[in-house]
Amino acid sequence: MREHRVSLDSLIQPLFVVERSADAGPISSMPGIERFTVEGIVDECRQLAQLGIHSVLLFGIPARKDAIASSNYDPDGIIQRATRAIKVAVPEITIIADLCNCEYTDHGHCGIIDEHGNVDNDATVALLVKTALTYAQAGVDAIGPSAMMDGQVEALRSALDAHKYNRVAIMAYSAKYASAFYGPFREAAEATPQFGDRSSYQMDPANAREALREIALDIEEGADIVMIKPGLPYLDIVRAARDNFDVPIAVYNVSGEYSMLKAAIANGWLEGDRAVDEMLVSFVRAGADSIITYFAKEYAQRHEV
């Protein structure tokens, strides 16, 4: 009689990969999550595949940062190298590469900063396109542009197609809210803006109809998958998207959602496995086809087939 189930196929594990081995290791605000070297991430992907998790979302932490994120489009950059290594060792893993610049810029913003201190939309889109082509060449299966620049999905789709990367999918961060729940991620990815914030290009948590407009726009621009982020505080948006659109919907159960559960579980305030299972099934019930969650691996370990 059970209406909804979390299937391992629907889970996507986010993974952090570092260029310098000194940057590898546990993330204190996200107990159980660590940053891997290229070697470590290959091993992690092997374990995930054995457990039945076949999709990962990669975030790179480069050794070098500058104002124009040049380590991001380096063909030997950290995402490019990690992708090639995973594809050789564990070809059954589907690799989605997050595409942004904030981990690669010394100022921590998602794009190129103009002389007034604002993010230059068009220059940033051009940079994203340049980087995406190197990711595609390295072998990623999908790209998740998270920079929230206007026209980024269309520019990426047409550049990928023009270079015969038609099979590289685009997962659009269509409804990405300016959220307090991203806090722990910033420790994980070393991506806190040095000045200002990102509210000029992330959505106001109070807006719902705007999310549907953004999703419609991304679909029109050629998105294959649309994503809503964060998850728990935005289940209504997931449901509305499901009711209004006929494309695959992903939800990102972000770092803060992970950390608050982990903290409560560690204190004995919540019953761990039940709380995690209840949260994950809520995303399926709301209408998500896939769930990006830091709980993917441990969920798979508890539900081993």
Tell me, yes or no, if 262 is annotated catalytic: no
Residue 135 or 299: which CB sits closer to Zn ion? 135
The answer to whether 93 contacts Zn ion (rule: CB under 5 A) is no
Provide the minimum distance between the beta carbon of 100 and Zn ion in the complex, in angstroms, as a whole number: 3
Answer yes or no: 176 catalytic: yes
- 2 burial via Cβ count (<10 Å: 0-12, 13-18, 19+): exposed
> How far is residue 226 CA from its own chain's centroid?
12
Classify 161 as helix, strand or coil.
helix
Is the Cβ of residue 93 or residue 97 nearer to Zn ion in the bound state?
Answer: 97
Q: Among the residues of 190-254, which ranges form H helices?
A: 209-221, 235-244
Closest approach, Cβ 196 to Zn ion, in A, equals 13
Within 173-232, which residues bind Zn ion (CB under 5 A)?
A: none
Given 65, 87, 164, 176, which residue is catalytic?
Answer: 176
**Closest separation in Å from C-beta 112 to Zn ion:** 12
Is the bond into 62 cis (omega within 30 degrees of 0)? Answer: no
Q: How far is the CB of 78 from Zn ion (least distance, A)?
A: 15
Site for Zn ion in 97-136 (CB under 5 A): 100, 102, 110
State which residue, 123 or 281, has the beta carbon closest to Zn ion.
Answer: 123
The answer to whether 93 and 56 are in contact (CB under 8 A) is: yes
Specify which residues 176 forms β-bridges with: 229
Catalytic residue among 65, 229, 262, 297: 229
The span from the CA of 238 to the CA of 177, in Å, is 13
Nearest CB to Zn ion, comparing residues 102 and 211: 102
Asked if 303 and 23 touch (Cβ cutoff 8 Å), the reply is no
Per CB under 5 A, residues contacting Zn ion are 100, 102, 110
**Among all residues, which ones are annotated catalytic?**
176, 229
